[in-house]
Amino acid sequence: MSDNILNYSLADFHYNDNPDVLSPPDDFNEWINNPRVKQSFSFFEQELLDAPRVSTEILSNIDGKKRNIINLTSYNYLGLSTHPEVIQAAVDAVQKYGLSSSGAPLLSGTLDIHTELASKIAAFKQKDDCLLYSSGFGGNVGAIQGIMRKGDYIVLDEKCHRSLVDGGTLSGAKMLFFAHNDMESLQMMLEKCKGKRVLVVVEGVYSMDGDLAKMPEIVEICEKYKAGIYIDEAHSTLMFGKNGRGVAEHFDVEDKVGITFGTMSKSFGGVGGFVCANEALIKYLKGYSSPWNFSCAPSPAVSGGLIKALEVATRDSSLRDKMWENTNFMKKSLLDMNLDLGDTESQVIPIIIGSSGEKLMKYAAGMQTRGLFLQPVDFPAVPAHARRFRMSVSSQLTQAEMDETLNIINDVIVKDQKS
Amino acid sequence: MTKEKIIEVISKNIIENLDDLENETIDPKKSMKDYGANSLDMIEVVSCSMRELNIKVPRAELADIETIDQLADKFLAFSEA
């Protein structure tokens, strides 16, 4: 392994045949402690020393220095996690209810602010009812696991998030993956499960590529095969559609989507997840969705803050308008620099570097040293030939910060690629 | 290790890990997808086969492989390295 150590990745150590069950595989230890691998891993778990705003401070693992940075990695798309009204609402809630809900929602954990938040989210998403989860990941796992059973079929876009796949595995249903946004492939998979209970699972905005699910075509095909639709709008809620309801609203197909999922940790600026659907299905999920009925209800501070975050984001369109203005400027400027942005249509902008993991890490270090926090995304999270940076554009970005970002990217990436 | 042996191991793991293949003969010119494998099934088949053959090929080097025959060639190259 030592002669091609950088060709290995986390994908290669999942199986463990170490006779000592309390130890990782022997070759994993050899790999992870190799100085070159250690250097790649040094980009992970770097400490932010201030709020995850665009302008923040990092304790850099590269050289151990504290550094002011432009942060384009956090998902704080609308800046709501530090919005003064949201913070005040969270403070008010923590003062009234304390730190914890102190129980699962079914028994004692449901507070009046949970019911208020769930009903406001359901109304916003134009569905009957809503289930709140303490974790976004848990929400996807819990909804899929709660609805699907052995003998059923789940047909997922191959780029769906791990939480959706894990939910599918846990459900015992058979999972079929269709080629990303490829309608012929979707149809082929649906042919294979004709006559079965089938749920088609897609994402509004795909998190590594920033492109959108082709909802009009997906809806048409699913209607033909009588398959239900589940859309994960983690990266699109509060940003897409005339009213910010997401990609389903953007394509005017909301009434055709049976289940809509969202996360509270991205545009909402909090943490947790939600699932909206018809009243009967939500009632059923409460009995069978383990991450809901066996997990403590969301914290009062977060729930109180989220009620305000929803209000701030939807009382007018100013935050998402600003986010789109920034996104359009950044996208145009990066394209003018001849960078490969894949097929992005959203505020998630990949900058695709290619197959060289070494270049990816070199650029990441170079940008961070110059004051730009843009995290590398390596295989196996993305294909080995398309390693990348993933930029999250926020409404908080100022023109000066965008100009500086582009200068750094030009100096570190574009000039190196030309040389 | 011969290529025939490698194909035999891969084929056995395909049959063991996928549904409804008990009486099938695996054609190496086909891909695992042709036998109904999804990406999780393929990881399982590749992992089981590598353990059985006592080799370790980085996943990053398997991305462009399409057929069972190509996978066997890759395994063979690593077993001889």
Tens digit of each residue's pLDDT (9 = 90 or more) over B27-74 = 999 999 888 888 888 989 999 999 999 999 998 888 889 999 999 999
Give the integer Cα–Cα distance in Å for B59 and B47.
10
Mean pLDDT value of segment A122-144: 98
User: Of A365, A361, A358, whose CA–CA distance to A60 is shortest?
Assistant: A365
Q: What CA–CA distances, in Å, run from A3 to A14, A31, A33, A324, A325?
A: 21, 11, 15, 46, 48
Q: Are residues A49 and A89 in the same domain?
A: no
SS3 readout for A233-270? CCCCCCCCCCCCCCHHHHCCCHHHCCEEEEECCCCCCC
Q: What is the pLDDT of residue A309?
A: 98
Which single residue is written with the structure tokens 């049959």? B15
Give the integer Cα–Cα distance in Å for A173 and A148.
6
Other beta carbons less than 10 A from residue A398's beta carbon: 12
Q: Are residues A179 and A144 in the same domain?
A: yes
Other beta carbons less than 10 A from residue A411's beta carbon: 13
Q: What is the pLDDT of residue A381?
A: 87
* Sign of the CA dihedral with A341 first, then A344, A346, and A350 last: negative
Q: Contact at 8 Å (CB) between A131 and A282?
A: yes
Q: What is the pLDDT of residue A6?
A: 82
Is residue A115 one of the residues assigned to a domain?
A: yes
Residue A366 is part of which domain span?
A: 41-71+318-418
Q: What is the pLDDT of residue A379?
A: 86
Is residue A27 one of the residues assigned to a domain?
A: no
Picking from A296, A314, A332, the residue at the C-terminal end of a domain is A314
A210-261 confidence digits (pLDDT tens):
999 999 999 999 999 999 999 999 999 999 999 999 999 999 999 999 999 9
Is residue A25 one of the residues assigned to a domain?
A: no
Is residue A35 one of the residues assigned to a domain?
A: no
Percent of chain B with pLDDT over 90: 59
Mutation site for B-interface testing, chosen from A5, A153, A177, A178 by largest number of B Cβ within 10 Å = A177
Percent of chain A with pLDDT over 70: 100
Residue A1 pLDDT exceeds 80: no
Q: Are residues A190 and A291 in the same domain?
A: yes
Is residue A264 one of the residues assigned to a domain?
A: yes
Q: Are residues A284 and A323 in the same domain?
A: no
Give the integer Cα–Cα distance in Å for A73 and A240.
20
Is residue A205 one of the residues assigned to a domain?
A: yes
Is residue A204 one of the residues assigned to a domain?
A: yes
Picking from A271, A292, A314, the residue at the C-terminal end of a domain is A314
Q: What is the pLDDT of residue A302?
A: 98
Residues ≥6 apart with Cβ < 8 Å to A316: none
User: Is A169 close to B40, i.e. CB distance below 8 A?
Assistant: yes
Number of domains in chain A: 2
Select the residue of A169, A174, A384 nearest B63 (Cβ to Cβ): A384
Set of chain A residues whose Cβ sits within 8 Å of the Cβ of B33: none
Mean pLDDT value of segment A49-69: 96
Select the residue of B19, B51, B58 nearest A4 (Cβ to Cβ): B58
Select the residue of A1, A169, A379 nearest B60 (Cβ to Cβ): A379
Residue B80 pLDDT exceeds 90: no
Tell whether A176 lies on the interface with B, counting CB pairs under 8 A.
Answer: yes
**CATH code at position A404:** 3.90.1150.10
Mean per-residue pLDDT over chain A, rounded = 96
Other beta carbons less than 10 A from residue A47's beta carbon: 10
Q: Are residues A222 and A335 in the same domain?
A: no
A361-386 confidence digits (pLDDT tens):
999 999 999 999 999 999 888 988 99
CB < 8 Å from B in window 3-42 of A? 4, 7-9, 11-12, 14-15, 17, 27
Residue A362, Cβ density class (10 Å: 0-12 exposed, 13-18 middle, ≥19 buried): middle
Mean pLDDT value of segment A330-346: 98
Question: A28 CA to chain B: closest CA distance, Å?
Answer: 12
**CATH code at position B20:** 1.10.1200.10
Number of domains in chain B: 1
Set of chain B residues whose Cβ sits within 8 Å of the Cβ of A384: 59-61, 63
Set of chain A residues whose Cβ sits within 8 Å of the Cβ of B41: none
Q: Are residues A259 and A288 in the same domain?
A: yes
Select the residue of B40, B59, B63 nearest A12 (Cβ to Cβ): B59
A2-23 confidence digits (pLDDT tens):
778 888 888 899 888 899 999 9
Q: Are residues A240 and A265 in the same domain?
A: yes
User: Is A11 close to B40, i.e. CB distance below 8 A?
Assistant: no
**Which residues make beta-bridge pairs with A373?**
A71
Residue B71 is part of which domain span?
A: 3-80
Q: Contact at 8 Å (CB) between B41 and B19?
A: no
Q: Are residues A293 and A401 in the same domain?
A: no
Q: Are residues A66 and A186 in the same domain?
A: no
Other beta carbons less than 10 A from residue A135's beta carbon: 19
Nearest residue in A to B54, CA atom? A17
Q: Are residues A87 and A166 in the same domain?
A: yes
Set of chain B residues whose Cβ sits within 8 Å of the Cβ of A175: 38, 40
Is residue A30 one of the residues assigned to a domain?
A: no
Question: A400 CA to chain B: closest CA distance, Å?
Answer: 39
Q: What ipTM score was computed for the predicted complex, to two decimals?
A: 0.84
Q: Contact at 8 Å (CB) between A358 and A6?
A: yes
Q: What is the pLDDT of residue A181?
A: 97
**CATH code at position A143:** 3.40.640.10
Picking from A267, A299, A314, the residue at the C-terminal end of a domain is A314
Q: Which tokens hold the place of A221?
A: 């095909």
Q: Are residues A181 and A91 in the same domain?
A: yes
Residue A134 pLDDT exceeds 90: yes
Q: Are residues A157 and A194 in the same domain?
A: yes
Residue B70, Cβ density class (10 Å: 0-12 exposed, 13-18 middle, ≥19 buried): middle
User: Of A5, A103, A96, whose CA–CA distance to A305 is shortest?
Assistant: A96
Q: What pTM did the predictor assign?
A: 0.94
